[in-house]
Amino acid sequence: MKILHILNEFREIGNGIVNVAVDLSTAQAEAGHDVLVVSSGGEYVSLIERFGARHIVLDQSRKPKVIGKAVAEFRKIVADFKPDIVHAHMMTGAILARVCQPGQKYRIVTTVHNEYQKSALFMGLGDKVVAVSAAVARAMVRRGVAARKLEVIHNGILNSHRRIKLSAVSPIELQKPAIVTVGAVSRRKGSLELVDAFNQIAQTNKEVHLYFVGNRDFPEAEQRAHDGGFAERIHFVGFEPQPLTYLLSADIFVLASHQEPFGLAITEAREAGLPVVASDVDGIPEALSHGRSGLLFPVGDIDSLAAAISKLLDVPAHKKYWAEKSSEGLSEFTVPIMANKYMSVYRKLTSVSR
């Protein structure tokens, strides 16, 4: 099958949308499909090329002159490549794919990650719309996308060529007990609530430390940490391309998001064998095998978050139980399973059986 993936960029910046596109394109090329990725480029180009996929640079900046040129260039790309499927991972690609579709044989697949963004409605332009969780699918239906167009495929990251194998990861030394969260420091990720919960815990637990592993885009969180009196035990370490180096040294993983379509970091924490505490919101329960593999707390509830973490810290048997539960049922979240599910969607849309 001839598959064209289109997205704005292909950089190694911890973007879950990019990561899924990389994993799909490498898996599909490895399986013998003719795969072309169209983006503005980035560090992952050399990776997919190792597996036989190709890349074409296309600037998709949202400026009138650039978009006009992008339409013309994309028309030429599809005319030359003649794809069976154009898989759009971001809004601009979805629009380009639809605008250039007349006269072409390809069908459009879109993947919706961040449905809470207004621009996500444009992902409904696909002939088939893949939601990364059932929660995202329900939200897209509420926004007017026909249920018959929707398919749910959970993100898979295990066995990804993008990631270092667990056995080859060298854990970084952390001050313990260590609570780790992975993702951009932001209001959406619940960074303020996590700082406040930690400040509650730190009053009685004199040894615990908190590590934010992700882009430092939210100075309010660092100010909150400074004002809380325990700043020396709250560490903002910045973006880390291989968060397993932190997760393998951690004692507890927390994701306090207000909105979260799925939560790839949860799968990584589960792979590392960590007990997980996470918000009961959007796709997070699905990432925790519908709540069987981690502790869920009401989104934004600082007291409940602090209580859940404290019990894991204070009761070794409780921590051991949830660490074991975390590791169960992970086989669902592998790249090969995700890639096979996408291929099934592609085949339903086309007459190409392979």
- Output the DSSP codes for 249-308: T-SEEEE--SS-SS-HHHHHHHHTT--EEEES-TTHHHHTTTTTSSEEE-TT-HHHHHHH
Statement to judge: residues 181 and 290 lie in one domain: yes
User: Domain containing 14: what range?
Assistant: 2-156+334-349
Q: Report CA Rg, the chain.
A: 21
Tell me what the mean pLDDT of segment 322-328 comes to.
95
Tally of domains within the chain: 2
Statement to judge: residues 252 and 323 lie in one domain: yes
Output the CA angle 179-182-186, nearest 5 degrees: 105
Cα(314)–Cα(310) distance, rounded to whole angstroms? 6
Statement to judge: residues 139 and 8 lie in one domain: yes
Cα(128)–Cα(109) distance, rounded to whole angstroms? 5
Asked if residue 82 belongs to a domain, the reply is yes
Output the CA angle 232-310-204, nearest 5 degrees: 55
All residues at 6 or more sequence positions from 118 whose CB lies less than 8 Å from its CB, including other chains: none
Tell me what the mean pLDDT of segment 299-317 comes to.
98
Statement to judge: residues 328 and 344 lie in one domain: no
Sheet holding 295-297, edge to edge: 234-238, 209-213, 178-182, 252-255, 276-279, 295-297
Statement to judge: residues 53 and 114 lie in one domain: yes
Asked if residue 354 belongs to a domain, the reply is no
Cα(89)–Cα(117) distance, rounded to whole angstroms? 14
Statement to judge: residues 339 and 325 lie in one domain: no
pLDDT at 166 over 90: no
Statement to judge: residues 88 and 206 lie in one domain: no
Q: Which residue has the higher pLDDT, 67 or 305?
A: 305
The percentage of residues in the chain with a pLDDT greater than 70, rounded to a whole number, is: 99
pLDDT at 353 over 80: no
- 71-75, 163-167, 195-199, 200-204 — which is least confidently predicted? 163-167
**What's residue 277's pLDDT?**
98
- Output the DSSP codes for 189-221: TTHHHHHHHHHHHHTT-SS-EEEEEB-B--HHH
Asked if residue 313 belongs to a domain, the reply is yes
The percentage of residues in the chain with a pLDDT greater than 90, rounded to a whole number, is: 89
Label residue 153 by pLDDT band (50, 70, 90): very high
**What's residue 14's pLDDT?**
84
The CATH number of whichever domain residue 272 belongs to comes to 3.40.50.2000
Against a cut of 0.75, is the pTM above it? Answer: yes
- 18-22, 58-62, 200-204 — which is least confidently predicted? 58-62
Statement to judge: residues 136 and 197 lie in one domain: no
pLDDT at 120 over 80: yes
**What's residue 352's pLDDT?**
65
Asked if residue 340 belongs to a domain, the reply is yes
Cα(326)–Cα(88) distance, rounded to whole angstroms? 32
Asked if residue 161 belongs to a domain, the reply is no
pLDDT at 135 over 80: yes
Cα(338)–Cα(151) distance, rounded to whole angstroms? 12
Task: Give the H or E element holding residue 119.
Answer: none
Q: What is the DSSP letter of 44?
A: T
| Residue 144 token pair | 């007017």
pLDDT at 37 over 60: yes
Label residue 70 by pLDDT band (50, 70, 90): very high
**What's residue 174's pLDDT?**
97
Statement to judge: residues 81 and 179 lie in one domain: no
Tell me what the mean pLDDT of segment 3-15 comes to.
94
Residue 85, beta-bridge partner list: 3, 107
**What's residue 118's pLDDT?**
87
Statement to judge: residues 184 and 312 lie in one domain: yes
Statement to judge: residues 145 and 208 lie in one domain: no
Tell me what the mean pLDDT of segment 136-162 comes to.
95
Statement to judge: residues 109 and 170 lie in one domain: no
**What's residue 67's pLDDT?**
87
